[in-house]
């Protein structure tokens, strides 16, 4: 089955799409941002370098943030002010105990945000049962191509 262009809209659970290069990843993120309701939580899975932060840049950019979006691996949480409301970007990769995030007032930060994107957030899935989960994967032999699959 041929891949749908990133502008074709969001994925349903179980659907996948191929994204060719960072520009398509950002465009897919922008289309996704338009489809997500206010106060949405979105989980991203994928190995290091799979494009989670690039996709997040598209999401946050679509909300009107014009500066650089970077991985919050060391800070754990980045908050981006946008005209549509705050966008939160969380990277739980280094978190040993999910309680560490809650001690940083994660729950309140999420509640007050237009969008919350959480990387490596498997331990938070049960706390946000309605939140979509997207997995990004490198394709063997295709350096700039990623497969994005909606798991939930």
CB hemisphere CA count around 84 (13 angstroms): 20
In the chain, where does DSSP find H-type helix?
Answer: 21-35, 52-62, 99-103, 106-111
Q: What value does the mean pLDDT of the chain take?
A: 91
Note the CATH number of domain 15-150: 3.40.50.300
pLDDT over threshold 80, residue 120 = yes
Q: What is the pLDDT of residues 82-97, one digit of tens each?
A: 999 999 999 999 888 8
pLDDT over threshold 90, residue 121 = yes
Instruction: Determine the 3-state secondary structure of 2 from DSSP.
Output: coil
């Amino acid at each position: 089955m041929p891949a749908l262009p990133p502008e074709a809209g969001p994925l349903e659970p179980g659907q996948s799409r191929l994204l060719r290069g960072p520009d398509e990843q950002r465009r897919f993120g922008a289309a996704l941002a338009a489809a997500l309701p206010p106060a949405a939580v979105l989980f991203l899975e994928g190995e290091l370098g799979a494009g989670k932060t690039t996709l997040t840049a598209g999401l946050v950019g679509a909300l009107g943030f014009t500066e650089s979006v970077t991985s919050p691996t060391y800070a754990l949480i980045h908050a981006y002010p946008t005209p549509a409301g705050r966008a939160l970007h969380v990277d739980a990769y280094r978190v040993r105990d999910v309680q560490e995030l809650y001690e940083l007032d994660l729950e309140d930060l999420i509640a007050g945000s237009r969008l919350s994107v959480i990387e490596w957030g498997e331990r938070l899935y049960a706390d946000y049962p309605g939140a979509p989960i997207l997995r990004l994967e490198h394709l063997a032999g295709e350096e700039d191509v990623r497969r994005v699959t909606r798991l939930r």
